[in-house]
Chain A
Amino acid sequence: MLNNIGNLLIFLSIAVSILIIYFSIHSLKEKKKTINKKLFNLSLWQTTFTLTSFFALIIGFILSDFSLITVFQNSHSLKPLFYKITATWGNHEGSLLLWINVLVIFSFLFLVFNKDAEKKYRIYTLISQNVLIIGFFLFLFFNSNPFDLVVPTPKQGLGLNPILQDPALAIHPPLLYIGFVGSSIYFSAAIGSLLSSYEGRNFAKSIKPWVIVSWSFQTLGILVGSIWAYYELGWGGFWFWDPVENASLMPWFVMTALIHSLVVLQKRESLYSWVIILCLSAFTLSVTGTFLVRSGILNSVHTFANDPSRGLYILVFLSLMIFTALTIFFIKYKKENYSFNTNSKETYILVNNWFMAFYLITILIGTTYPIFTEALVNIKISVGPPFYNIVIIPLVVPFLFIMALAPKVKWISNKFKSSMNFFSIIALAILLNALIIYYLEPYSFLTNLIITSSIFLIIYSLLDLVNIIRKKNNFDLPRILSHLGFGFLVFFIGLNHSYSVDQDFNLKEGEKKEFENYVINFKSLNYEQYKNYKAVIGEFDLLNKKNLKQETLFPEIRIYNQPKTLTYEASIRTGLGHDLYLTMSNISRSEFYNIKFQKKPFMIWIWFSAIMISTGGFVRLFKNEN
């Protein structure tokens, strides 16, 4: 029943998309200045059909309709309702449908919200976006249809991987997809702009909100993914330079570069071609990331169950996409005249873009290098986190300085007025860094530089903040929020990295262990039965010998019944100053339990900083220009 409804809706959506393209081409020939009402209606129908198909799938999961293959493979009737719903996008097929939903919704919203733009430009954008929509629908329909039937209907589902049964992972994909797939609309708009010669200031204005929306959600999506990795994977880290993480970070760099370049295009009518390239590469990288992850080409800590045929389709689609986009770009390419004064805001924004490009290229090389060595010389390698740390971290230092200074630089031509301010703030930053070392513990030379430069950025941004409050002109608020957030992020990551305590040992029930300032006491093991899992819960007393504060932590080992899987649940005591983090894992054929204790300073502030960065984006949306 549901499978027929679902397939019908997908079929209708594809049909409407084709109609949209047909009428769009038709409408291009009309002389009218406005877009035919028909296109709005069709677009609305398209959105309705696609959304309904997604709801149909959700209903399939809620009712545990195991005749649908996706439901059968990823759900179980005993699972809590919340995870039945989130399982809809916790798998390849369902998440692809979500992906298409975002494509369609953005297509509709772009059509509605860009009334001021030229008709030709809007129509070409609509056509391009609908080509993408049809491409992904065909992929969904022929390769990964969530509404495929299982015959005969199974009595019970296979269950959702327990590590995915988690609130953070429930909201992670939708957030990330608004970012990833949101970038499709400015991919299409870039094509539209090239074809209709609608460029410069107006083009910048029409895509800016979309870039900011996708960037803000991408930031949040990455954050939620990190939080999940932090408490669920049980390693205590929040960033592992894992291919999947890199895949989400690469479009983020492009989007960040784009946000900055758009300002130049808007204010100075320059960098048009570069903006187009960034628009095209953001979505291209998003699709590439998906391709690498879903096809199983890259080994990763969190993989979707993967299937090479998927990869092949995405690869073909991706190549076509890049090829078409580049062809249009080179046919329509016009030489631009860049004559920037070296000391001007334009130049500094270009410098930002260079940094972004550098980070992007580094991560791209690190992520794809193993693919090439395996394909070309059949050597299996993996690139370790030290590579990224060595290459990326030192360059963060100058980046932070420029990030603090550049926003103050004037357009066209600038003169630095007072170097006094600059030197006194540097002195203050060095002093604060020295105080931290004095009261806490010394850290490496590089960390000194990082912390000092991040303090420099923080002070500068705070001064800017005071300034705009005094002037009551808060146009600059979003920028300051994001830059300040980034300063805090680097600052707290630096401290967190330097002051983390990490201890591993094996204990039997009833044993004690002393280390550094702590005594840890493995008091007891308790067994409990829950709806969809059994839990072995350890009770640990943790005594701080310095201040005699005692905490009790309860890490768990969970044995899920569907599918039969073991997970370790860290016990985390979050505080303003630090998190205490304890995981317990069993060792086969032994009475010992492996205990991992970690003290992670300022974790909550790292999350807070990332939220602040994306808040800057959201605030910008509600701030009018001028």
Chain B
Amino acid sequence: MLNKKVKNRVLFITLLITISLIIVFFIIETLNSNLLYFKTPTDIFENENINFQKKIRLGGMVKKNSIDANSNEIKFIITDLKNEIIVSYTGTVPNLFLEEKGVIAEGVLKDRKYFIADRILAKHDENYMPPNLQQELNKKNAK
């Protein structure tokens, strides 16, 4: 009787550990395939191998006088003051989406110069800038 109990317990614990391992592996796998990497136009310009299918977040500043709207889409340029990328977007823009303000576009790259966004984020903090852009701007102001 006791022997059977111990056997059962061992079996149960092994099963539990195996299942937990499988679950954790499954979670991490899913996590990895659903990560959105944050890139700046320069990152994209400098990177040799880009996966054009993968969704990314493109961050930078909306270039002055670049917003152009027609009845289907909005086009604008995201710049990090070194390189720039044209973004095409259909959908609602957040209220802090303004020229010369920080912005994050979520979507896929069509090529190195053209980005198709399906979501635009701007922070509710009106002074928000993507951190590395802030460094660039500070450098520029310091000069």
Contacts and interface: CB of A to CB of B under 8 A. Distances in A.
Contacts of B74: 506, 587, 594
Interface in B103-141: 121, 123-126
A303 B124 contact: yes
B44 interface: no
B49 interface: no
Contacts of B55: 384
A507 interface: yes
A592 interface: yes
A111 to B, nearest CB: 41
Nearest to A513: B71
A506 B91 CA distance: 8
Interface string B87-98: 000111111111
Interface centre among B65, B73, B90, B124 (most CB of A within 10 A): B124
B48 interface: no
Interface centre among B31, B74, B90 (most CB of A within 10 A): B31
Contact of B95 (A358, A507, A563, A567): A567
A585 interface: yes
A302 B31 CA distance: 23
A22 interface: no
A505 interface: yes
A141 interface: no
A390 B34 contact: yes
A363 B97 CA distance: 30
The 5 tightest CB contacts between A and B, nearest first, are A380-B38, A387-B34, A590-B69, A592-B69, A596-B92
A366 B95 contact: no
Contacts of A391: 26-27, 30
A588 B31 CA distance: 37
A515 to B, nearest CB: 12
B31 A382 contact: no
B46 interface: no
A379 B40 CA distance: 12
B30 to A, nearest CB: 5
A302 B70 CA distance: 30
Contact of B93 (A362, A381, A386, A585): A585
Contacts of B10: none
A384 B55 CA distance: 10
Nearest to B39: A380
B92 A583 contact: yes
Interface in A539-588: 563, 565-568, 583, 585, 587-588
30 contacts: A163-B124, A301-B123, A358-B23, A362-B27, A365-B28, A366-B31, A380-B37, A380-B38, A381-B35, A382-B36, A384-B34, A384-B35, A387-B31, A387-B34, A390-B30, A390-B34, A391-B30, A504-B90, A504-B91, A505-B72, A506-B69, A565-B95, A565-B126, A568-B95, A585-B94, A587-B67, A587-B93, A588-B99, A590-B68, A594-B69
Given A358-B23, A507-B71, A594-B74, 20 more contacts: A235-B92, A299-B123, A301-B124, A305-B125, A365-B27, A382-B36, A383-B31, A384-B34, A384-B36, A504-B90, A504-B91, A506-B72, A563-B126, A568-B95, A585-B92, A585-B95, A588-B99, A592-B71, A594-B91, A594-B93
Contacts of A596: 91-92
A380 B114 CA distance: 21
Interface in B6-46: 23, 26-28, 30-31, 34-38
Contacts of A511: 71
A568 B96 CA distance: 10
Interface in A386-400: 386-387, 390-391
B71 A588 contact: no
A234 interface: yes
A246 B34 CA distance: 17
A523 to B, nearest CB: 17
A502 B125 CA distance: 27
A596 B71 CA distance: 13
Interface in A358-414: 358, 361-362, 365-366, 369, 379-384, 386-387, 390-391
A37 interface: no
Interface in A309-363: 358, 361-362
Contact of A386 (B34, B92, B94): B34
A425 to B, nearest CB: 28
Contacts of A594: 69, 74, 91-93
A592 B38 contact: no
Contacts of B35: 381-384, 387
B18 to A, nearest CB: 14
A163 B122 CA distance: 14
Contacts of B23: 358
A387 B90 contact: no
A589 interface: yes
Contacts of A366: 31
A505 B89 CA distance: 10
Contact of B92 (A234, A588, A590): A234
Nearest to B62: A588
A361 B26 CA distance: 12
A161 interface: yes
A597 B30 CA distance: 32
